[in-house]
Amino acid sequence: MKLNTLLISALVAVSATAAGASELGDKFEKTAAAFAAAGTARQLTGASLAVFPFQAEEKLAKKKVDFAVGELLASHLLKQGVYKLTERVQLEEVLKEQKLGLSGAVDSKTASGIGKLLGARLLVLGNVIRMGDSYQITAKLIDSETSEMIASEITEVPVQTFDQEAGRYLALVPDQQAVGIFLNLGYGFTSTTKLGPQTYETLTLDPANPELPQIMGGIGIRYWAKPRWMAQFDFNRVASSAGGGGENLYTTANPATIAEKFRAGYTGFMVRVSLDRTTRPSAPFVWHNGAGLAFYNVDSVEMDKELQSTYGIYNVRLDTEGTSYFTPFLRTGVEWRPQARFGWSLFANMNVLSKDYIQEVTIDKGGAGQNFTIWKTSFPRFYLDSSIALYF
């Protein structure tokens, strides 16, 4: 009996949630339809429309209710297909230039002037207040040329219903000047130059010429200096062949007295500094396009540094030095921000410059010897990296 009661309660709760979500959508759809009809009646189909930040008391503004109302109404107006909506970012930039801020405290006359700067014929203004357990939303459609109000709608939505349905919009709001810490993983392929057999007197080494991936992992920090600009600094460990697990450098037909096969690969670090310009194509995604400067510093695989192989009278030892270089790089990617404090991103990167990394061996008998290049590869020009970030 108790189990049946719990199941019925759960079903009722789910049904109530679904009904609430439908109720919220219906209310905004009604307002959007009324505004579309008002514009059509005045032969304003195809006109540009800007949705201004809604005015709200401090508690609601901190909760981003005003932002959510604007986004919901803009979304439903877009679905009507009657108006061309101005991007929110453009409106924010003009408001900042006019030193009006984003509080929504703009009267019809001032808004009309801003609308003309934006090239928007129609404007949506409004406010949100809390009345008991409901939000009362007032929205007005204004003609920027005459400052005349051509339509007005008042909607009441239960707070619980609004929070359930609009939660995803509330989470989209990026914190201004937010700082983020992230963990990073990356993957790319080196480009190996094919080398022929290397011969010293009667000893011939046949290079294996392995194609090895480069992996990277590190930590970094992000800083949103402005809503559309993000600076990033990160430090990463890099390794080809996972730090020594790659293929042997060469093979030889000579019988070995002491057989120590050298491994191809390298380890080191990479430091990057970059600046991205961001756009928001659709919630909750943020698109990044940026450029930066990277510094690489790598050395041969640690396990091979002291190794030596002997083939009869010939000694073969690893004789490789590390290398470092700077390169500008370009990147593009997308970040998923389901919440204001969390983000997951995937980036494609292209290094403008590359450099060859060379592993050599010295073959000698009794002291005199000769160096041979046994593996030659170029650092990745293209690579992917993914990160998980926390913002505060």
Question: Tell me, what's the pLDDT at 194?
Answer: 93
Q: Find the range with the poorest average confidence among 2-16, 58-72, 295-309, 361-375.
A: 2-16
Q: Which top CATH class is 2-170?
A: alpha beta
Pairing of strands 148-158, 250-251: unpaired
Instruction: Calculate mean pLDDT across residues 89-117.
Output: 72
Q: Find the range with the poorest average confidence among 106-110, 263-267, 293-297.
A: 106-110
Question: Tell me, what's the pLDDT at 370?
Answer: 87
Question: Tell me, what's the pLDDT at 183?
Answer: 96
For the beta carbon of residue 159, count every other beta carbon within 10 angstroms.
14
Question: Tell me, what's the pLDDT at 29?
Answer: 92
Question: Tell me, what's the pLDDT at 253?
Answer: 87
Residue 67 has pLDDT above 60, yes or no: yes
Q: Where does the pLDDT of residue 304 fall: very low under 50, low under 70, confident under 90, or very high at 90 and above?
A: low
| Distance, CA of 160 to CA of 149 (rounded, Å) | 31
Question: Tell me, what's the pLDDT at 31?
Answer: 92
Q: Where does the pLDDT of residue 175 fall: very low under 50, low under 70, confident under 90, or very high at 90 and above?
A: very low
Residue that wins the pLDDT comparison between 244 and 123? 123
Question: Tell me, what's the pLDDT at 117?
Answer: 82
Task: Domain 179-391: give its CATH code.
Answer: 2.40.160.20
Residue that wins the pLDDT comparison between 232 and 109? 232
Residue 140 has pLDDT above 80, yes or no: yes
Question: Tell me, what's the pLDDT at 13?
Answer: 41
- CA 173-85-32 angle, to 5 degrees, is 90
Are the C-beta atoms of residues 214 and 238 closer than 8 Å to each other? yes
How high does pLDDT run on average in the chain?
A: 82
Question: Tell me, what's the pLDDT at 306?
Answer: 60
Comma-separated ranges of CATH 3.40.50.10610 domains in the chain: 2-170
Residue 172 has pLDDT above 70, yes or no: no
- Give phi and psi for 6, each to the nearest 5: -65, -40
Question: Tell me, what's the pLDDT at 128?
Answer: 92
- In order, the DSSP letters of 320-387 are ---EEEEEEEEEEEEEEEEETTEEEEEEEEEES---EEEEEEEEEETTEEEEEEEEEEE--SEEEEEE
Instruction: Calculate mean pLDDT across residues 118-141.
Output: 89
Comma-separated ranges of CATH 2.40.160.20 domains in the chain: 179-391
Question: Tell me, what's the pLDDT at 58?
Answer: 81
**Tens of pLDDT along 250-288?**
888 888 787 777 888 888 999 999 999 988 777 678 899
Instruction: Calculate mean pLDDT across residues 291-297.
Output: 96
Residue 143 has pLDDT above 60, yes or no: yes
Question: Tell me, what's the pLDDT at 245?
Answer: 55
Residue that wins the pLDDT comparison between 183 and 56? 183
Q: Which residue has the tokens 């020594």?
A: 244
Reduce the DSSP state of residue 249 to 3 states and report it. Answer: coil
